[in-house]
Copies of this chain bind each other. A is one copy, B any other.
Amino acid sequence: MEPLPGMEKLKRVTIVAESVVSERIQEDVLRLGAKGYTTTHAEGRGSRGVRASEWEGHNVKLETIVTPEVAGKILKYMEDKYFQHFAVIAYTIDVEVIRAKKYR
């Protein structure tokens, strides 16, 4: 659908990770260019990528709204640093925001 009037398209990055890993990721995200983020507690269940075994436990879901450029940097960093050793989920969604300048 077309963006609503006065709104701009940005990316929301979502990262779900175990609590202890999430603390490091929160610092990473700000260092890579995010202006802020929101976290919520979550429970995860399932086979999560590199670990073939069934997996279940406490997680932190981080959400941040960023430019496509920063989104690309964050996702690349997640892939390089975390995906091999941790059960991390990371993805982006297109969003339309008002007052886009505060996310740049």
**What's the interface size class on A, roughly?**
35 or more
Which one, B10, B59, B92, B102, contacts A96 given CB within 8 A?
B92
Instruction: List residues of chain B with CB within 8 A of the CB of A41.
Output: 40-41
- Shortest Cβ gap from A97 to chain B (Å): 4
* B49 close to A45 (CB less than 8 A): no
Q: Which residues of B contact A46 (CB under 8 A)?
A: 30, 34-37
In the assembly, what is the distance between CA of A76 and CA of B98, in Å?
8
Q: Which residues of A contact B (CB under 8 A)?
A: 1, 4-7, 9-12, 16, 26, 30, 34-50, 55, 59, 61, 65, 68, 71-72, 75-76, 78-79, 83, 89-99, 102
